[in-house]
Structures are given as C-alpha cells and as structure tokens.
Structure 1
Amino acid sequence: MIAKLEQGFGLRIHRRVKLRTVTGMQTSGGAMILKRYDGDGMRRRLEALSDALDRVLLAGVEVAPYLRTNQGVPYMADRGGLYTIQPWLQGRHLSLKSADERKAAARALAQLHAVPAGKGSKKAFYLRVPPLSEKYRHRLERAQVATFKDPDLRDMWRPFQEQARESVVQLQGMALERALDRDLRHGSLCHRDPAPHNFMWHGEGAALIDFDLAGYDVRAHDLYQLMNHSLYLNGWEPGLFSEMIEAYERVLPLDVDNRRVLQALMLYPSLVIREWYDFGKTGKRDSLRVRLAWAQIQEEKRRSQVCFL
C-alpha cells in the first residue's frame, strides 16, 4: 500500500501514525494527512471538491488542497477505497473561547465564500446539497420522538417545538431561494461543518480544514453554524453574535436575503433540540434535566438577539 501511494503521488513516505479518523504521515513533501473514502460513488465528488479547493487556494485563501496523482486525479483507488493526501496545516484547533478566535473563524468563512469556486464549473453539480429546511425539519422530528421517552419534561419542550416549526416554515420561504440562487450563481463554496476542530489557529488567523461535508449552499448557514458552536461552547455573552457577523461582513457583506435566512436560523432552538436529539440516541436521563435547563436559558437569550441581526 505504501509503495502504491509513493508511486501514485510521487512522494517518499518516511513515517506514519494512525489517528482517530486519518493517518498522519511524514513525507518528502512535508507533513501530510492520508484519508480513506469508501465507495466508488465518491469519485465525482472528490474531483469536484478538488477543483473547487484549487480555485480557493489560487485566490490566496489558506486551505489544504488535495494532492493529485501522476494521472491528475485527487485520489488513488485501491481495494474498494479511495485514498486522498493533503498537506497538514500548522497550528492548533480553535477553542472559540476568545473573541479573537471567533472573529478569525468568521473571516476565514467569508474569505472562502468570496471565491467564485464553483462558477462555470461543469462538476459543481456533484457538490449540490439537500434543501436547508429538510435538515432542520429532520432534527426537529427526531427530537420530538425523543420527548415521548420522558413525559415529565414534555412541558419544557412545547414552546421550543413551536419555535423550531416557525423557523422551518421561514426557511421554506422565498428569501432562502433567492439567497441560495445568488450564492450558487456566484459559486460560493460553503464548508458546512465549521466546528472548532475544523479550524487551525496559528496566532494571526484561522484556516479551514476537513471539507468532507462542503458543498454549494446558502452562505448564511456556515455563519450560523459557527455562531451556534460558539453559543454551545461558551454560553451567551454580550456581543457574541454581533462580533462574528461584523468580522464576516468586513470581508464579504451579507445581502438582504442571506440576513433573513440567518434570522430564521437563529430562531431555531438548536441547543434544546440537540439535547433531546442526543437523549433519543443514548437514553441517558441522568443529566438531561440540568442540560435542558442550561440550553433553555441560552436559547431565550439567543432569541432576544434575533431582531438585532
């Protein structure tokens, strides 16, 4: 396997170490990440994503592109799997604890979105994603089912259930369609999983890694996910949302429809739904009441800020 990788990518592999989901390698080209994807259906997606990341990199945005083999493809096929190699970016993962880190993450998203990575690409079709409203409707339904496992807490759930339904209805409106159409025409590649472990912090800024879920989506969704992770990790504090929006807009302003999509998403009580969703999978009641109480407080504070977005 090592010999095939070396021959295919034109590298010498000196050392390797198995990590949780990838393999780290020291090579003649520096530190690299080796990743396996199962299924032949990933070929088109990896080719489209590789082309998009190449455009992002050429525009001056710091990302880790897929190395190409001697045949010019971003993967090596072997034993039913596809293997990709990417440079290992220096730095540490973000914690999102400080305002500097949160603003750097927002700028990194805006820099990614500003590049017309999919404009005119014949492969962009393979990076299209399902409607945003379907994702949040599905999570709402899963949380709703979980509430039947604990009737004593169902009264706490009902107001957030209505709030989530309102958000989903708004996400099905014309604002989302217009925002998505505009972002698709521009070719904005969205990361779609801007969690702290998918950013590398190097003291001056943040770089995005792990584009496995990336696609052409409405860009307000990326910003919302970053804001949501920050709320979950830190709890609400004054300026938590506005600082990230302002940092994003210094690079790439939000149009009216993207702002409306962001407002609809901010109505969605993700933290409460997350606790019910996780409870539905694990069935652990021990900490549910405490975690729900905390999540409810954060969501009430989040909702009070929607009008200021």
Structure 2
Amino acid sequence: MSQPSLRKLERALQTRVIDMEQGQKIWLIYTNEQTWVAKQCRSAYHQEWWSQVDRELRHRGFHDMPTFLHAGDGLTLTSYIRGETSRYRSRRESKLVLGQLARFHQAGRGCTTPSTRRTAFLLWERLGQRLKKFEKYLHQYDRSTGKADKWIRIAGFEMYRMGVNTWNQLYTPTFYEMNEQSYLQHHLCHRDLASHNWMIEEDRAWLIDFDTASYDAQWGDLWQISTRVLTENRWDKSLWIEMMECYEQHQPLSDWEKYFIKVMYGFPNEFFRESIGVLEKKPGYRLDYTGPYLERIIDDIEHWREFLSQLRHW
C-alpha cells in the first residue's frame, strides 16, 4: 500500500497529522489526539455500505468496534485499538469474544440498511465451494510437489469423507431456506472470525476488520469461531458448553440453528481451509506454521469424534 495523501487524511480527520508509519498492508496515522489505521478498502461499494451499517449498529448500542471514517479513493480510517490479538487457546478470552459476538449479532439482526447487491456466497454456498475445491486437490495431490501434500495423503480422504457426509445432512430445503431468509431479513455477520480480528483490552473484546461482513446466517459465525476455538483446545466439551452459555445469554438459538450447528461441527472446515491455503500459496499460509496446525488437527481426530458423539442430545 502506497503512502496516503496527507491532504486527504487531514481533511477526513479534521486535524493535523504529525507522523505516519508504514505497517503490513496498513499505515499508522498519528495526530495529537489519537492514532488511526489507514487501509485500502477492496470495494468502494462495500465501504459505503459498511459505513451505513456502522452508524446503525452504534445507534442500536453496539460500540465495541473502531471508529470508521472515509478518506476518499477507497481509503478507510479506523481508530487504533491499544490491545492484544485474541488467543483462542485462552479459555477466558474465548468466552469473552463469544459473548461479544452475540451482542454484535443481536445489534445486527434485522438491519434497516439495504443490501443493494447480492452478497458473494451465502453460508451454504461457501461450504459447498470449499468441499468442491478440496475434492479437486484431493484428486490431484499425487501430481503436486512439496511437503504440503503430505497432510492430504495422511488424512485427506478421511476428511473428504467426513465433509461429504456432513454436506449430505446439511443440504436440505430447510438449510437453504434458512440461509436465504437470514439474507433477506438482514441478519448481519462478520464472516472472518480469525483471532487477529479480535483485540482484547483488559476485559473488553473489540471486533475489527469488516471487509467480509454481509447479511448471512449468523449461526455460521458462531460455528466458525467455536470450531476454531475447539480445534485449539482439543475439542474440550466443557469449554464448548461455557462458550454456548456466553453466546445464548445474549442471543438464544432456535432448535433448527442448534441442529445445523451440531451437524456442521462434523465438517472439517479448518483442515480444508488450511490445506487449500497452503496449496494455493495464499498470503498468510506458511508451511512452517500451517504444517504443525494440520498435524494437530489430524492427531485430534479421535477427540473430535468423541465430541461429536456427545452432541446428540443438544
């Protein structure tokens, strides 16, 4: 990202910029009053849409996200949060972010901000696309080179079988209709709940980076984040119970939502996502980090199966 225009920054902030510091894909902008993060938005349409949603969420009482400003030419400014990235291995922080996610969903349920463009891939479409993409690599792995395909040889076919079995249970008229209704009724989702999109400041969790936010099935967010936490904690059911209690304290789940989340836990999303990321050489997917993570997922398959067997009566 090139250095932002000083004139545009000062016009947007209505104050003098005293310094700028380049980071990874961002610039830190310093004023006498506070520090800001400057970032290039992927879509001008999404930037405008989010600015409206941001105002609506704050009007509804949700403020645990950075202040958001336009700076022109697709540049966004958000207030700098002086905290640390969330750690999904921390029981305390995991429960903290689950409660915060519930409040975000509660405030974002039935937004009045119109969705003027069809969202890219609802939950059911994203699951189907990920399974299909992994299937393609599964059939090609013996022609690939490097260490990344080792994990596919070890567990790829078993993970694919579990993915297909889960997909066959999910792909029903009810699942499709609930996804569509969530979109039509403007249920707001974040859709990228990696640990780096949470900042922990003492006992407060801040949700950041809304580039992927859209109207979608909110229980997809809950499934995504709880799966990542459970993967980091060897599918600890007692932690899962505590996380669900934190979430439902603010945002109770319907019987159908519980059913589909329970089924979706059988979908090896983390294994698929990490494997595809390495094979496609996506930014942020380094083999020295992803390899041990994939190994841990494989080593914990029995813990995962035991966890799934205990959810039958949820």
Q: TM-score, normalised by structure 1?
A: 0.83
State the match for 1:31 in structure 2.
35
In structure 2, C-alpha distance between the alignment counterparts of 1:184 and 1:66, rounded to whole Å = 24
Return closer, same or farther for 1:172/1:238 CA change in 2, 3 Å cut-off: closer
* Distance apart, 1:278 and its partner CA: 4.3
Partner letter of residue 44 of structure 1?
Y
**Could you tell me how far 1:267 is from its partner in structure 2?**
1.5
- The corresponding residue for 1:89 is 81
1:104 pairs with one of 74, 91, 96: 96
Q: Cα offset for 1:182? A: 5.0
2:305 maps to 1:300: yes
The answer as to whether partners of 2:234 and 2:304 remain within 8 angstroms in 1 is: no
- In 2, the alpha carbon distance for the partners of 1:235 and 1:292 equals 8
Given the superposition, is the C-alpha separation of residues 232 and 187 from structure 1 closer, same or farther in structure 2, using an over 3 Å criterion?
same
Query: Which residue of structure 1 lines up, in the alignment, with residue 241 of structure 2?
Result: 242
Secondary structure of the 1:6 match is helix
In the TM superposition, 1:137-148 aligns within 5 A as 137-147=128-138, 148=140
Q: Identify if the C-alpha distance between structure 1 residues 121 and 298 changes in structure 2 by more than 3 Å, giving closer, same or farther.
A: same
CA distance in 2, matches of 1:284, 1:11: 44
CA pair 278-181 structure 1, distance change in 2 beyond 3 A: closer
- Distance in 2 of aligned mates of 1:208 and 1:265: 24
Aligned pair count?
295
1:53-100 superposed Cα distances (whole Å, 9 cap, x missing partner)? 112123222111322xxxxxx3412xxxx1111111232111022222
State the match for 1:209 in structure 2: 208
The residue type paired with residue 307 of structure 1 is: R
Q: Which ranges of structure 1 fall in alignment gaps of 5 or more residues?
A: 68-73
The 1-side partners of 2:60 and 2:116 are apart by: 22
Q: Which residues of 2 match residues 69-218 of structure 1 at below 5 A? A: 74-77=70-73, 82-116=74-108, 119-122=111-114, 124-126=115-117, 128-147=119-138, 148-150=140-142, 154=153, 156-181=155-180, 183-184=182-183, 187-218=186-217
The CA deviation at 1:37 is 2.6
What is the Cα-based RMSD across aligned positions, in Å? 2.9
1:296 and 1:273, CA in 2 relative to 1: closer, same or farther beyond 3 A?
A: farther
1:20 pairs with 2:11: no
Contact 2:231 2:297 in 1 (8 A): no
TM value normalised by structure 2:
0.82
